[in-house]
Amino acid sequence: MTQVLINPTPKDYKSEVKPTWCPGCGDFGVLNATYRSMANLKLSPDKTVVVSGIGCSSRFPHFIKTFGFHSVHGRALPVAQGLKMSRPDLTVVAVGGDGDFFSIGAGHLVHAALRNIDITVVVMDNEIYGLTKGQTSPTSPHGHVTKSTPYGLLASQFNPISTALSLNVSFVARGYSSKPKELATLIEQGMLHKGFSFIHVLSPCPTFYRTFDAWDAAVTPIPTNHDANDRMQAMNLAMETEKPFIGLFYQQERPTMDQAAHQLVRESKAFNVESYIKRYA
């Protein structure tokens, strides 16, 4: 039987496992925002699944009192999509880091975008690999010096929002972990959106890279006159990387693969071979 929470508060979604992140890690803000969005939507813990890969950010499911799946590095999306295809009644959220989604798991992101399966993805981007102690990731800036790139990173920086827009992801947003209220609204909108929702979150790793100060000074709310139906307008905002915009870039309602596949199954079950033969023989 479905567990119904009457007027839940964010606390109701806290598990008994205490987060093991370093003090000051950005991921705390993302976790608080997620509790808040789940409470606002009154989600049933037993009808909600949080799936992750591997990384500091991927410890997330342990700290939430819903079903969870701490999977393999880069593989949160295959697990989450498979789950939603077989259990369309569940709210499925995939979470992890920039390494997980844009490095080892990048191929899955492309196909998930094209399928438009109704799941919500929350990427905690600290622009490095946190768990393995600070190596560069695809979102590290060009020239970034780490133990593994002592002469500076030679590759250029990946742009998650413009990539998602070019793949025509049907919901594209960016939040900031030190603005959990605004972030909670974006996660809520993403969970309500019917289709693949991509929420890029700036979430600093003060232990190995950025502190909040750098992003506090830079993040800029998306202008109120932005038309979220206009993909080209969204693309222009995405190209601004010095002062990253936060808010909803783009949203488009279109059929999802989970709905289409279940419709196909219903139609094929109703398909009558004899009447087809009579009609066309």
Ligand X SMILES: Cc1ncc(C[n+]2csc(CCOP(=O)(O)OP(=O)(O)O)c2C)c(N)n1
Q: Which two tokens stand for residue 54?
A: 């591997």
* Surface-to-core class of residue 277, CB atoms within 10 Å of its CB (0-12 exposed, 13-18 middle, 19+ buried): exposed
* Binder of residue 22, out of ligand X, ligand SF4, none (CB less than 5 to 8 A by kind): ligand SF4
Q: Does 130 bind ligand SF4 (CB under 6 A)?
A: yes
Asked whether position 28 contacts ligand SF4 by CB under 6 A, the answer is no
Which is nearer to ligand SF4, 48 or 203 (by Cβ)?
203
Q: Which does 137 bind (CB under 5 to 8 A by kind): ligand X, ligand SF4, none?
A: ligand X
Backbone φ and ψ for 257, nearest 5 degrees, come out as -70, -35
**Nearest-approach distance from CB 124 to ligand X, in angstroms:** 6
Binding residues (CB under 6 A) for ligand X: these are: 54-57, 73, 96-100, 104, 124, 126, 129-132, 137
- Residue 126 touches ligand SF4, criterion: CB under 6 A: yes
> Whole-angstrom Cα distance, residue 106 to residue 86?
23
Asked whether position 205 contacts ligand SF4 by CB under 6 A, the answer is yes
Residue 235 main-chain phi, psi, to 5 deg: -65, -40
- The secondary structure of residue 87, as a DSSP letter, is -
| Residue with Cβ nearer ligand X (100 or 258) | 100
Contact of 102 with 158, CB cutoff 8 Å: yes
Instruction: Please name which of 167, 182, 173, 185 lies closest in space to residue 226, comparing C-alpha atoms.
Output: 173
Binding mask 34-63 for ligand SF4 (x = CB under 6 A): ----------------------x-------
